[in-house]
């Protein structure tokens, strides 16, 4: 039997942790929405544990464990969830429910945890393929798990779901460059920084914002073919799921456009979409979802980064 308190926890996690996706999540049918929220709550929890945060913000309770120890605990609890152990933490109880109900592959869950390991081990990103590999682990594989919740088993459609995750994360990186730098993280390709006369130490300095804005513009433009690829995958989703995903795609893409247009002022405040903008994107997405019923998915462009199989 479903535990209603788990849903309450998951709803709170979504409302606080991702206002961008919260709007879209309301468009799913009740069963799909529950599972989507449950999966999100686990992903958010894992992210928070690694960063010693709560809902993406500084936690009142400081952990005395090292990041490596916290990562190990996440791996152990994820294995326990798959083994059928009764999970008492809401995020892991939620994940267990979703993983069992939708046959989420353990490889996907541990691929996601590998993204946090990259943070813990302070991975370096020499080129855009390195950045895309990180994007796969923290977001692309989440797209795969979300698509499985929506009933997708076709590998070609799963590729499109992964592409949407890649696009989302490229947008997130562009929006959060300065915030990430403040906690010692840089996901930008070092080759791109070097071309602008920057490096992984000085890239976020106020006097370098003009050059940094050009790097961010490249990142936003890099996301575009992945957004287009994801839209072509809507045809493989149930109608309400297609509407929700098209809405999320529109909201995140709009954030990237704002980063692009703001130039060196992009990080003066956190770029986001207003309620009227979200409503307009929701309406536009309904048309995309309906049109997806009348077309077949075209071949995925061969030049796009390919997820591991």
pLDDT band at 64 (very low <50, low <70, confident <90, very high): confident
Which of 17-21, 202-206, 297-301 is most confident?
202-206
Query: Tens digit of pLDDT for each residue in 138-189?
Result: 999 999 999 999 999 999 999 999 999 999 999 999 999 999 999 999 999 9
Residue 13 has pLDDT above 90, yes or no: no
- The structure tokens listed for 162 are 């992964």
The per-residue pLDDT for 300 is 95
- What is the residue-averaged pLDDT of the chain? 93
The pLDDT assigned to 7 comes to 72
pLDDT at 56: 47
Flag whether pLDDT at 3 surpasses 70. Answer: no
In the chain the first and final C-alpha atoms are separated, in Å, by: 34
Give residue limits of the domains in the chain: 1-120, 123-309
For tokens 């799913």, the residue is 28
Rounded CA separation 236/231 (Å): 10
pTM of the model: 0.93
Q: How far are the Cα atoms of 17, 38, 146 from residue 4, in angstroms, in the given order?
A: 20, 11, 20
Q: What confidence score (pLDDT) does residue 59 get?
A: 53
How sure is the predictor about 1, in pLDDT bands with cuts at 50, 70 and 90? very low
Has residue 207 got a pLDDT over 80? yes
The stretch 107-135 carries a mean pLDDT of: 97
Domain 123-309 has CATH 1.20.1250.20: no
Q: For residues 210 and 212, what is the distance between their CA atoms, to the nearest angstrom?
A: 5
Run of H or E residues at 255: helix 239-262
Provide the token pair at 174. 């562009």
Contact by Cβ (8 Å): 39, 100? no
Alpha-carbon distance 197 to 210, whole Å?
11
The phi, psi pair for 53, rounded to 5°, reads: -125, 180
Tens-digit pLDDT profile for residues 78-111: 999 999 999 999 999 999 999 999 999 999 999 9
Q: Are 92 and 100 in contact (CB under 8 A)?
A: no
């Amino acid at each position: 039997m479903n535990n209603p308190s788990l849903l309450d926890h998951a709803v709170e996690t979504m409302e606080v942790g991702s206002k961008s996706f919260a709007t879209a999540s309301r468009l799913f049918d009740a069963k799909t929405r529950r599972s989507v929220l449950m999966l999100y709550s686990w992903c958010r929890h894992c992210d928070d544990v690694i960063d010693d945060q709560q809902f993406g913000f500084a936690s009142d309770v400081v952990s005395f464990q090292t990041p490596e120890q916290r990562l190990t605990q996440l791996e152990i609890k994820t294995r326990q969830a798959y083994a059928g152990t009764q999970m008492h933490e809401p995020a892991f109880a939620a994940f267990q429910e979703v993983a069992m109900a939708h046959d989420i592959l353990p490889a996907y869950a541990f691929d996601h945890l590998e993204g946090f390991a990259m943070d813990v081990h302070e991975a370096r990103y020499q080129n855009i393929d390195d950045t895309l590999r990180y994007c796969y682990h923290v977001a692309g594989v989440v797209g795969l798990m979300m698509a499985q919740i929506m009933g997708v088993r076709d590998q070609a459609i799963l590729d499109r779901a992964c592409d949407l995750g890649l696009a989302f994360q490229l947008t997130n990186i562009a929006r959060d460059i300065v915030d990430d730098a403040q906690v010692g993280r840089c996901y930008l390709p070092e080759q791109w920084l070097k071309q602008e006369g920057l490096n992984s130490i000085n890239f976020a300095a106020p006097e370098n914002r003009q050059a940094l804005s050009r790097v961010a513009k490249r990142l936003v433009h890099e996301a575009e073919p992945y957004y287009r690829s994801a839209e072509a995958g809507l045809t493989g989703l149930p109608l309400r799921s297609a509407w929700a995903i098209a809405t999320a795609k529109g909201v995140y893409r709009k954030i990237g456009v704002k980063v692009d247009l703001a130039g060196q002022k992009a990080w003066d405040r956190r770029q986001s979409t207003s309620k009227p903008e979200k409503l307009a994107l929701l309406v536009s997405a309904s048309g995309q979802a309906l049109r997806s019923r009348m077309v077949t998915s075209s071949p995925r462009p061969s030049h796009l980064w390919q997820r591991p199989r």
